[in-house]
Amino acid sequence: MACSPGFHETCGDTVLSLRGVSYRYAGATDPAIRDVDLTMQDGELLGIVGASEAGKSTLCLVAAGLAPRTIRGSLSGTVHLDGDDAASLQMHELAARIGICFQRPWTQLSGVCETVFEEVAFGPMNLGAPRDETLARTEEALTALAITDLAPRDPARLSGGQMQLVAICGLLAMGPAHLVLDEPTAQLDPAGTRLVADALAQLAASGASILIAEQKTDLLAALCSRIIVLQAGRVIRDGPTVEVLTDPELPRQGVPETSAGRLRRLATEAGIATELLDQALD
């Protein structure tokens, strides 16, 4: 399979595999996720939905190896990245393989870099890349997300959406095998959401493997091929986007309907034929 810019070759097709994974935070009585089985293939775009505290963030942290490592807790089951057991890898090795992006843009900035260029270069530098390689990777990542014009700007003065792009760019520069995104647009306004959504669509088109948790089902409907529904820590649905997002049970499970889905449902409930609607929604 062709390699997208900034992404490592992966050995085999399964890039992420969780088997029977349960995770309990230190000091908590109940596990945050239970018996989760999940595999992600190379180039796949996997969406995670669920009510808040259903375990989406926990799943992202476990998939990225930050739990139980940095976040204290106990993990049962196995997590494999490209065939390697995540527990056997050092934290910085994990960082090189998975890029994880969080909700709040400003806490992801290093806070010590005066330009976006240095901010994006932070990751490869930390990983010990020689100077030329750092420069090359940074330029590549900036080009991949089309933010080269932001390079000389002060990261602290960017809009929320731009900050998130810089954060994702900084992850790309480390050359990860796949990206994990935990509600990246939750704190953004529509302009910022659009920025991030377009960037993700571009990455997807170039063959990236992306795991993304979101409340904005509209976004996931446009981006993902497969959706997983979490409820009280368990995976209750795992299937193609169209099927999962049109399931009438979804709102009861705490997942918002897509805008189009809601319109269709309201029309059906009011006894109106949906052909006109479908035409307009195409």
Q: Residue 155, class by beta-carbon neighbours within 10 Å (0-12 exposed, 13-18 middle, 19+ buried)?
A: buried
SS3 of residue 278 by DSSP: helix
* Contact pattern from residue 188 through residue 227 relative to another protein, giving x for each residue in contact according to CB under 8 A and a dash for the rest: -xxxx----------------------x------------
Among residue numbers 236 through 255, which ones bind another protein (CB under 8 A)? Answer: 251, 254-255
Among 64, 86, 199, 208, binds another protein (CB under 8 A): 64
What residues contact 244, with CB distance under 8 A and at least 6 apart?
A: 227, 229, 237, 238, 250
From the CB of residue 173, how many other CB atoms can be counted at a distance below 10 Å? Answer: 28
Compare residues 2 and 29 and give the one whose CB is closer to another protein: 29
Q: How far does Cα 51 stand from its chain's mean position? A: 17
**Closest separation in Å from C-beta 156 to another protein:** 9
**Closest separation in Å from C-beta 132 to another protein:** 9
Among residue numbers 139 through 178, which ones bind another protein (CB under 8 A)? Answer: 151-152, 159-160, 167, 170-171, 174
Compare residues 14 and 187 and give the one whose CB is closer to another protein: 187
266 binds another protein (CB under 8 A): yes
* Contact pattern from residue 83 through residue 122 relative to another protein, giving x for each residue in contact according to CB under 8 A and a dash for the rest: -------xxx--xx-xxx-xxx--xx-xxx-xx-xx--xx
Which of these, 243, 234, 210, 224, lies nearest to 40 by C-alpha position?
A: 210
φ, ψ of residue 95 to 5 degrees: the values are -60, -35
272 binds another protein (CB under 8 A): yes
How many residues of this chain interact with another protein, rule: CB under 8 A?
78
> Which helix (H) or strand (E) is 163 found in, with range?
helix 160-172
